[in-house]
């Protein structure tokens, strides 16, 4: 389903989840309140995945539905709404003590980390699937 929205989205979501697992395993041993650490990180990771899917939907809709005039304002509006949702979730977490706010922020930062690592993750997924680099294979067969 994710590939229908954007070819890079599955790798981006996988990167966010792997990032969350690494941060969880690295940090949970050093904090006193393990539940709040984990719940805050989980909330942040869920927000990051939701933001990634929302970005893909907005980009697809903007390209397919809206013309040049409405596209810019729609992208800006959806970006602002995305960050308002994050602020509201952080406020709710703080108000009702639902998780560690710092680890939630670290979890949301997983979107950026995964976006930067996405080309490497995509290449690793292709190697695991046995696809490799198709362009270099076709060039080698032509020279022989």
How many Cβ atoms from other residues are within 10 Å of residue 68's Cβ? 7
The per-residue pLDDT of the chain, averaged, comes to 87
More confident site: 20 or 131: 20
pLDDT score recorded for residue 100: 95
- Whether the per-residue pLDDT at 144 is higher than 70: the answer is no
Whole-structure pTM value = 0.83
Q: Rg (Cα) of the chain, in Å, rounded? A: 19
Eight-state DSSP code of residue 30:
G
| Alpha carbons 46 and 117: distance in angstroms, whole number | 18
């Amino acid at each position: 389903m994710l590939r229908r929205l954007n070819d890079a989205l599955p790798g981006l979501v996988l990167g966010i989840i792997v990032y969350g697992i690494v941060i969880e395993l690295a940090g949970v041993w050093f904090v006193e309140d393990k539940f709040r650490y984990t719940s805050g990180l989980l909330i942040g990771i869920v927000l990051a995945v939701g933001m990634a899917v929302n970005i893909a939907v907005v980009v697809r809709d903007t390209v397919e539905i809206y013309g040049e005039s409405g596209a810019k304002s729609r992208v800006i509006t959806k970006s602002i709404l995305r960050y308002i949702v994050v602020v509201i979730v952080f406020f709710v977490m703080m108000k009702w003590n639902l998780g560690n706010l710092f680890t939630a922020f670290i979890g949301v930062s997983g979107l950026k980390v995964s976006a930067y690592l996405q080309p490497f993750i995509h290449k690793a997924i292709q190697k695991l699937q046995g696809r490799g680099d198709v362009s270099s294979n076709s060039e080698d067969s032509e020279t022989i």
